[in-house]
Amino acid sequence: MWESIILAFRDRIYLLFAAAALLLSVVIFYLFRQLTTKNESIWLAPIFTPIHFYVIVVFAINFILSLVSHKRDKFLSLAFNFTTLAVDVLLIAAMILNLTNSNG
């Protein structure tokens, strides 16, 4: 396992995806906290209240899986980080649509 972690941190493409996933996850966590504490919106519904914590959980799980799988399959490792990025982008799009909605 330690060999795959060392190999993962030597790979620049992997580090780029992992850093982008981490940065986007932190940004979404911050935006959700700001949105839910300052605005009366759909994000205060009970189903969305803990969603900003799920962003960090998704990042942590995918990052650990990508580290473990890096030695065996580099594509799978990058796919885990890409999944995190895709989830984050979809959540940002949902927030933007909610903020631009005149009814929300």
- Give the separation between CA 55 and CA 99, rounded to whole angstroms: 19
Map tokens 């903020």 to a residue.
99
Give the pLDDT mean for 82-101: 75
Q: Which two tokens stand for residue 69?
A: 């799988």
Q: Name the pTM for this structure.
A: 0.60
Is pLDDT of 17 > 60? yes
Q: Which residues of 45-79 are buried (b: 16+ CB within 10 A; e: fewer)?
A: eeebeebbeebeebbeebbebbbbbbbeebeebbb
Render pLDDT for 74-91 as a digit per residue (tens, 0 to 9): 787 778 778 878 877 877
Position 30 scores a pLDDT of 76
Is pLDDT of 42 > 60? no
Confidence of residue 5 (pLDDT cuts 50, 70, 90): low
Map tokens 């759909």 to a residue.
42
**Alpha carbon distance, N-terminus to C-terminus of the chain:** 47
99: closest CA among 46, 34, 55?
Answer: 34
Q: How many residues are there in the chain?
A: 104
Q: What is the mean pLDDT of the chain?
A: 72
